[in-house]
Amino acid sequence: MPAPEPASTPPAPPVPLAALLARTELGLRLLAGPPDVSLHWVHTSEMADPYPYLLGGELLMTAGVQLTDPARYVARVVAAGAAALGFGVTPVYDTVPAALVEACERHGLPLLEVPPATPFTAVARAVWRLMAEVRTNELRRVSEAQQSLAAAAARPAPVPAVLGALAARLGGRAVLYAPDGTESAAAGRAVPAEAGRALAELAGVVGPRPGGPATASGDGGGLRLAAYALGGGDGPTLGVATEAREPGDHTIAGVAVVLLSLLTAPHRAADVTARDTALVRLLLGATPAEAAGALGPGPWTVVHARGGDGTPFAAASLAAELGTALVDPGADTVRLLLPASAAVTARPGWTLGVGAPAEAPALAAADAQAARALRRAEATRTPLVRHRASGLAGLVDPDEAAAYARELLAPLTPPLTETLRTWLSLHGSWDRTAAATEIHRNTVRQRIARCAGLLGKDLDDPDVRMELWFALHSG
């Protein structure tokens, strides 16, 4: 069976094995396995079992210094997810062992013969050069597509023109679905009926459902399918069907999503009017709270973001995905203002910091919260970090705290839990707890003793009391 795709890949684009074999100066020969695999990196190892040192997607290079059991060696390499195996003849072997060829053929692992005159470093250098060529071609293709789509958006019938330009650039079909799921416009070559039905179903996944995904992908009718919500999920949906997914396709589609979102948004004129009204109010001396009234009811969520694909449309694309027209692209950080009800989720290629929901007078504080959250996200290499409450409780994830509290307090019945909560809040006073709970003082003692027994805790220990109090407020 072919090697699985690696779980994670580097930022450099993969290189087809066939492109490496086409470098005749290397003299590589394919002895087993298919040539249609992708190489994500090159790794050289003479370990008897390289499994622990492979990440997946490698062209593993070896001279077989410790090759004693070819069948087991290949099985371990395949299990690690390596894309191909390069075997250097000399200095250990004069030819590639027949048992190794047979094992690679059985597992579907491409096996390359590396001639004596070709050092492993030459093969690695060729892979890196091919990656650079792929990246350059990808950037050129994306740049040309952006220009083509922008020109199409300026035509008299911009929506069909953008769909046509997108279909031509991706070599497939582009379909615009209305919010009710009906096809409103399309361009490009026809697709099989099965693929058309699958694309329509996929577009329904990213339709106007609250909290639904902004994008979805899949396969149908032998084609690769993708769907993108326009206008933050309450507008039309773009569906794309292609024979394959090429590097840069997602970026090109993202540009089309931004343009089509702007072209098809039914309320964009009202949005512009609302923003202009708010700006005029601010310039004429209104407070932020008075100006925010023109944009809609609060509270609001402030989001800071860094990343994107480096294109001029990146900030607008992120705003469209998050469902807001209130965006400040900034030179270094993109700032967005969303209704507090909007779902803010991680976005590929972006690092996000999210402030706590705030009314208009507190937006400046929320902006500072989002900035701090973004710094934490970058420091921890986390795609999204939300503002945490101050104090020790803010240092603990609420979901993790709630799960721990449920586990810790699980042995207690509701009456025991409530008695324990009251007793702790009154600093262990039996009389005051009895008065607050309207039960006898001896009953309080019995219940607290029961709590201690069920929990296996010493309730005279202040550390235990603190832990239980935190759990009672987190559960």
Domain that residue 461 falls in: 398-474
Query: Is 175 among the domain residues?
Result: yes
What's the pLDDT score for residue 5?
A: 44
Residue 11 has pLDDT above 60, yes or no: no
Residue 391 has pLDDT above 80, yes or no: no
What's the pLDDT score for residue 32?
A: 96
The token duo for 297 is 């009811």
167 and 252 share one domain: yes
20 and 107 share one domain: yes
CB 64 within 8 A of CB 56: no
111 Cβ contact partners less than 8 Å away, ≥ 6 residues apart: 30, 31, 32, 33, 84, 85, 86, 87, 96, 100, 101, 104, 105
pLDDT-above-70 percentage for the chain: 88
What's the pLDDT score for residue 1?
A: 41
23 and 71 share one domain: yes
How far CA 444 is from CA of 21, 425, 427, in Å, comes to: 81, 14, 13
What's the pLDDT score for residue 437?
A: 85
123 and 187 share one domain: no
101 and 168 share one domain: no
pLDDT-above-90 percentage for the chain: 32
412 and 449 share one domain: yes
Please state the rounded mean pLDDT for residues 391-396: 58
Q: What is the CATH number of the domain that holds 122?
A: 3.40.1390.20
47 and 103 share one domain: yes
168 and 259 share one domain: yes
Q: Which of the four pLDDT bands, split at 50, 70 and 90, describes residue 304?
A: very high
Window from 63-77, 339-353, 448-462 with minimum mean pLDDT: 339-353
334 and 381 share one domain: yes
Please state the rounded mean pLDDT for residues 99-121: 96
The token duo for 207 is 């339709």
Query: Is 336 among the domain residues?
Result: yes
Query: Is 3 among the domain residues?
Result: no
100 and 21 share one domain: yes
What's the chain's average pLDDT? 84
Of the CA atoms within 13 Å of residue 405, those in its CB half-sphere come to 18
Query: Is 277 among the domain residues?
Result: no
**Residue (of 43, 5, 45, 37) closest to 21 by Cα position:** 37
Query: Is 137 among the domain residues?
Result: no
CB 103 within 8 A of CB 75: yes
25 and 119 share one domain: yes
Q: What is the CATH number of the domain that holds 437?
A: 1.10.10.2840
Domain count, the chain: 4
Query: Is 184 among the domain residues?
Result: yes
Higher pLDDT, 332 or 34: 34
Q: Which of the four pLDDT bands, split at 50, 70 and 90, describes residue 6?
A: very low
Most confident range, picked from 243-257, 353-367, 394-408, 416-430: 416-430
Query: Is 53 among the domain residues?
Result: yes
What are phi and psi for residue 177, nearest 5 degrees? -105, 135
Tell how many helices (H) and how many strands (E) occur in the chain.
Answer: 16, 17
Q: What is the CATH number of the domain that holds 193?
A: 3.30.450.30
| Separation of alpha carbons 408 and 471, rounded Å | 8
Query: Is 281 among the domain residues?
Result: no
112 and 218 share one domain: no
Please state the rounded mean pLDDT for residues 44-64: 94
What's the pLDDT score for residue 353?
A: 92
